[in-house]
Amino acid sequence: MSAAKKVPIPPRGVDYRGKIVLAPMVRSGELPSRLSALYYGADLVWGPETVDRAMIGTTRRVNDAAGTIEWTRTPSHGQKVKPTDAKESIIYKLHPARESSRLIFQIGTSDPARAVACARLVAADVAGIDVNAGCPKPFSTSGGMGAALLQTPDLLCAILEALVAEIVPEFGIGISVKIRLLETAAQTEKLVRRLVATGITGLTIHCRTTPMRPREAAIRGQLKMIADVCREAGVACLMNGDVASRDEALVLMEEYGVDGAMIATAAEKNPSCFRAEADGGIAPWDEVVEYYVKTAMEVENKFGNTKFLLGNMVPGKEQAHSPITQVKSYTQTCERLGFTHLVEQAKATDILIGLGGDGDAASKKKGRQAIKSALAAGGQMGKARKLEKEERKVAKAKVPSQQAEVVSAEVAPAVAASSA
């Protein structure tokens, strides 16, 4: 039997086969969310859809203190603001050491030239470029982007071909596309056949039509057909829609013959869904939230975004949920969640991002110094907490043998009483 056809993976690109990945989600796909997903086992992460017009004209800068790269611009909104008073907006942020080799940048675009111009800004810092042709929300479709591209296949193919021709040879990364189902299987097949002929290395199919909403069950009847078409062309095929965990993803991949799977909503609530059951499975919400908050502070994430995610990550039935919806700073967040070991770092972060202090250079310098001290102290405290957990595990492991000794001493009733 001859080997299956496979589109060559560029030297800096990634092969989507066998991967369980974080789906692109606006707000829920920002840097700390991606790093949390990777920490708990995601193979790749998609950033949120970023519109080409927003990226073009940005300035790339390195934030050495946070270890991040940021693309910023000064907002205009038609206002007359002195250059010295204007505050830059961060359009996109990534952490090169922790995610670049596993990060896919997704573009919102409706023009080949703009798509290339946008991709060129970030291509050297990511592992792949993905075109959003599936988002049904008005902010995307109103500009002819997202799911609107499904109705203009000539334009969608032209965008992909331009990216393959310009970005792949220059930067050595692959191009992919994310789409939705069309009204009929025949229409979907016709579109997929055109897309896989453009030179892309991966295609993700969201198993819903454009009018469908997340609460409606995913439609998987066309998956095998789509996977077969992709395989014939040597393009990796990923599925998206109602995938709740790594273990479930692997079962679905086997059942439908797809190469990989995306997780969206489940990861928004608890990114440890990427961890296999054999490796620990879903972690307790408070453990996951603690890692997320710590990471958000390390990368200087906008507090509003952090608070939004916490609203999803702290279960509504938990006592901490209501208080967390009222916090206005990282300090209040750590205090109300009981993360006392992170409070000093939170205070320093608040100063740094303008939630405390005067927001001037001196305050920021003070904040960075405080963060270094807090991280150093936190490291020692973290070691102590880890040692404490290990000691508890050892203690639990000794319980059966200790009970056996008690039973052999003919004091079983005492054991029963102590157990009760």
Tokens standing for 30?
A: 């920002």
Nearest to 291 by CA among 34, 7, 87, 60: 34
User: How many CB atoms neighbour CB 30 within 10 A?
Assistant: 23
For residue 218, the cross-strand partners are none
Nearest to 242 by CA among 223, 266, 222, 221: 266
**Burial (CB count within 10 angstroms: exposed 0-12, middle 13-18, buried 19+), residue 154:** exposed
Rounded to whole angstroms, how far apart are CA atoms 278 and 133?
35
Q: Is 409 helix (H, G, I), strand (E, B) or coil?
A: coil
Residues 6+ apart with CB under 8 A from 152: 144
Contact (CB, 8 A) for 76 and 105: no
Q: What is the DSSP secondary-structure string of 102-169?
A: GEEEEEE-S-HHHHHHHHHHHGGGSSEEEEEE---SHHHHTTT-GGGGGG-HHHHHHHHHHHHHHHHH
CA dihedral sign of residues 129, 134, 140, 144: positive
Enzyme catalytic residues: 135
DSSP summary character for residue 376: H
Buried b (16+ CB within 10 A) or exposed e, 234-257: ebbbbbbbbbbbbebbeebbeebb
Radius of gyration of the chain from its Cα atoms, rounded to whole angstroms: 24
Rounded to whole angstroms, how far apart are CA atoms 34 and 299?
12
Q: What does residue 177 show for φ and ψ, rounded to 5 degrees?
A: -145, 150
CA dihedral sign of residues 29, 35, 40, 45: positive
